[in-house]
């Protein structure tokens, strides 16, 4: 199933699971999935988990779209660098000098796909 236009126009979703407090997260979009870094406050997400992704027009504004999604683990090699760049957004990227910064993010951060 292709993602809605509303989801494609934005880059931040509030993810919630089983009544837990929503967590804001930047996402990248493929034809059928949202892709997020799933570490930090999202470290507990596992493959097969059901979540709700709520998209707001602006931060803390009225919700414009809510999508039920299922998580799946991504192997670093299956995530293209352009998608890592989308997920990273405007965050500073540290580089050890050994790899391209996005390759380093792809290999050191956990990536999860969220499919409606």
Q: What is the CA radius of gyration of the chain?
A: 14
Q: Which residue has tokens 């809605």?
A: 4
Q: What is the average per-residue pLDDT within 88-113?
A: 81
- pLDDT-above-90 percentage for the chain: 57
pTM of the model: 0.86
For 25-63, give one letter per residue: b (16+ CB within 10 A) or e. bbbbbeeebbbbbbeeebeebeeebebebbbbeeeeeee
More reliable by pLDDT, 96 or 46: 46
Q: How confident is the model at residue 91 (pLDDT cuts 50, 70, 90)?
A: low
């Amino acid at each position: 199933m292709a993602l809605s236009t509303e989801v494609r126009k934005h880059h931040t979703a509030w993810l919630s699971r089983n009544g837990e407090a929503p967590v804001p997260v930047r996402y990248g979009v493929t034809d059928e999935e949202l892709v997020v870094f799933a570490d930090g406050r999202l470290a507990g997400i596992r493959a097969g988990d059901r979540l709700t992704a709520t998209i707001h027009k602006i931060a803390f504004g009225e919700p414009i779209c809510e999508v039920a999604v299922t998580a799946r683990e991504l192997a670093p090699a299956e995530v293209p660098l352009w998608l890592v760049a989308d997920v990273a957004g405007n965050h500073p990227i540290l580089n050890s000098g050994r790899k391209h910064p996005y390759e380093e993010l792809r290999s050191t951060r956990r990536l999860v796909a969220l499919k409606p």
